[in-house]
């Protein structure tokens, strides 16, 4: 009896562990992450998709490059000088992500995890003059890099892993239910753990939606960035002005033509006052004069 009492908790613990393992395995099986960069015609652009329960919950398309300053020895091996590493986000990178109602995350790793990018998105509601309005934004960027990696770093002093973080970031602000699109290049500044150096993250050809995706693998209506809207206006403004000018010219010529025609008709057929029509001379002498003039 005592032996059974001692073994019962052990069996119960094993059952709990088995149930926990089964639940974790089921959750992992229900989440899918896919790098679809091969579908892009832009060799610098990456496409990442996170799916949960068979439904797309986060999509991100963008090209990214990181400008990282680092120290090297000068030729005298006494002084330090600063070099710059240009690190592009490689196509075919590993990724993982998670989706939530108010918070989503995308993580990307490349070059044997020597480089890692983490982007955190949040959705918030705000009171405005129009009432309660919801929007989402990019709230945090973290970039981890290894200056001992030889592809982009050459003879770095004290090589090793460093972390660069954004500070009070509020970027890519977009109304809830829409995707963010921006072809223009945007720069996000990050502060590195390597002597507080500033790392620049350059984003371009961006199309991202971390929340409220209605159709699988399909972005919702685009919210364009102000730079793209201004450039589009600058491109279409000359065309609009040309059309307006052409329309003004056509209207002016039409009015002139109508006015000229009416004036000519009035000259050929002048109006006769009523009192003159009652005069006998108008009906006898005037027609004769007209006939003589035609001869």
Structure-token pair, residue 232: 């589009």
- Residue 16, domain member (yes or no): no
Strand 55-73 relative to strand 46-52: parallel, antiparallel, unpaired?
A: antiparallel
pLDDT tens, residue by residue, 20-36:
444 444 444 466 888 88
- Residue 231, domain member (yes or no): no
In this predicted structure, the answer to whether residue 82 has a pLDDT above a threshold of 70 is yes
Planar angle of CA 188, 233, 176, nearest 5 degrees: 55
Q: How far apart are alpha carbons 50 and 97 in whole angstroms?
A: 6
Closest CA to 117 of 88, 152, 141: 141
Give me the torsion for CA of 73, 197, 153, 93, rounded to 10°: 170
- Residue 174, domain member (yes or no): yes
Strand 55-73 relative to strand 80-88: parallel, antiparallel, unpaired?
A: antiparallel
Structure-token pair, residue 280: 């006998």
- Residue 289, domain member (yes or no): no
- β-strand partners of 55: 52
- Residue 167, domain member (yes or no): yes
Backbone angles phi and psi of 232, in degrees to 5: -65, -40
Structure-token pair, residue 63: 């090209």
Is this prediction's pTM over 0.75? no
Ranking 35-44, 60-69, 190-199, 250-259 by mean pLDDT, the lowest is 250-259
Structure-token pair, residue 155: 């003879």
Query: In terms of C-beta density within 10 A (0-12 exposed, 13-18 middle, 19 or more buried), how is residue 231 classed?
Result: middle
SS (HEC) of 138-188: EEEEEEEEECCCCCCCCCCCCCCEEEEECCCCCEEEEECCCEEEECCCEEE
Ranking 75-89, 159-173, 253-267 by mean pLDDT, the lowest is 253-267
User: Which of residues 257 and 44 earns the better pLDDT score?
Assistant: 44
In this predicted structure, the answer to whether residue 246 has a pLDDT above a threshold of 60 is yes
Backbone angles phi and psi of 254, in degrees to 5: -65, -45
Backbone angles phi and psi of 228, in degrees to 5: -65, -40
Query: In terms of C-beta density within 10 A (0-12 exposed, 13-18 middle, 19 or more buried), how is residue 19 classed?
Result: exposed
pLDDT tens, residue by residue, 50-66:
999 889 999 999 999 99
In this predicted structure, the answer to whether residue 10 has a pLDDT above a threshold of 80 is no
- Residue 287, domain member (yes or no): no
In the chain, alpha helices (H)? 2-30, 226-268, 274-277, 280-294
pLDDT band at 285 (very low <50, low <70, confident <90, very high): low
Ranking 51-60, 180-189, 238-247 by mean pLDDT, the lowest is 238-247
Closest CA to 211 of 135, 291, 294: 135
Ranking 39-43, 103-107, 273-277 by mean pLDDT, the lowest is 273-277
The mean per-residue pLDDT over the stretch 213-238 comes to 75
In this predicted structure, the answer to whether residue 165 has a pLDDT above a threshold of 60 is yes
Ranking 35-49, 58-72, 85-99, 155-169 by mean pLDDT, the lowest is 35-49
In this predicted structure, the answer to whether residue 141 has a pLDDT above a threshold of 80 is yes
The mean per-residue pLDDT over the stretch 34-59 comes to 88
User: What is the structure's pLDDT at 21?
Assistant: 44
- Residue 268, domain member (yes or no): no
Residue pair 135/124 in contact by the 8 Å Cβ criterion:
yes
Percentage of the residues of the chain whose pLDDT score is greater than 90: 55
User: What is the structure's pLDDT at 237?
Assistant: 45
- CATH number, position 188: 2.40.160.110
Strand 131-146 relative to strand 179-182: parallel, antiparallel, unpaired?
A: unpaired
- Residue 205, domain member (yes or no): yes
The mean per-residue pLDDT over the stretch 116-144 comes to 93
In this predicted structure, the answer to whether residue 213 has a pLDDT above a threshold of 60 is yes
Residue 40 carries which DSSP code? -
- Can you give the residue range of the structural domain that contains 168? 30-221
* Total domains in the fold of the chain: 1
The mean per-residue pLDDT over the stretch 189-193 comes to 97
Q: Which long-range contacts (CB under 8 A, 24 or more apart) does 129-133 make?
A: 133/175, 133/176
Compute how many other C-beta atoms are within 10 angstroms of the C-beta atom of residue 145. 26
Across the chain, what does the average pLDDT equal?
Answer: 82
């Amino acid at each position: 009896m005592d032996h059974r009492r001692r073994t019962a908790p052990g069996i119960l613990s094993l059952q709990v562990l088995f149930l926990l393992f089964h639940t974790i395995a089921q959750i992992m099986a229900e989440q899918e992450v896919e790098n679809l960069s091969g579908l892009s015609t832009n060799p610098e652009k990456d496409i990442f998709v996170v799916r949960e329960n068979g439904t797309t919950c986060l999509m991100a398309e963008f090209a990214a490059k990181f400008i990282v300053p680092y120290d090297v020895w000068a030729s005298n091996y006494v002084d330090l000088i600063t070099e710059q590493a240009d690190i592009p986000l490689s196509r075919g990178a590993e990724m993982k992500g998670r989706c939530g109602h108010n918070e989503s995350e995308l993580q990307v790793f490349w070059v044997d995890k020597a480089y890692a990018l983490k982007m955190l998105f949040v959705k918030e509601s705000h009171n405005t003059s129009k009432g309660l309005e919801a929007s989402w934004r990019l709230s945090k960027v973290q970039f981890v890099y290894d200056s001992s990696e030889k592809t982009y770093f050459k003879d770095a002093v004290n090589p090793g892993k460093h972390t660069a973080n954004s500070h009070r970031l509020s970027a890519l602000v977009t109304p809830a239910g829409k995707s963010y699109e921006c072809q223009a290049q945007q720069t996000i500044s990050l502060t590195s753990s390597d002597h507080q150096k500033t790392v620049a993250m350059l984003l371009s050809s961006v199309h991202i939606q971390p929340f409220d995706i209605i159709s699988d693998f399909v972005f919702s209506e685009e919210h364009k960035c102000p730079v793209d809207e201004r450039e589009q206006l600058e491109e279409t403004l000359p065309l609009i002005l040309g059309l307006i000018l052409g329309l003004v010219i056509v209207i002016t010529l039409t009015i002139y033509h109508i006015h000229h025609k009416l004036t000519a008709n009035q000259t050929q057929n002048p109006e006769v006052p009523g009192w003159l029509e009652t005069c006998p001379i108008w009906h006898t002498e005037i027609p004769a004069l007209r006939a003589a003039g035609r001869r």
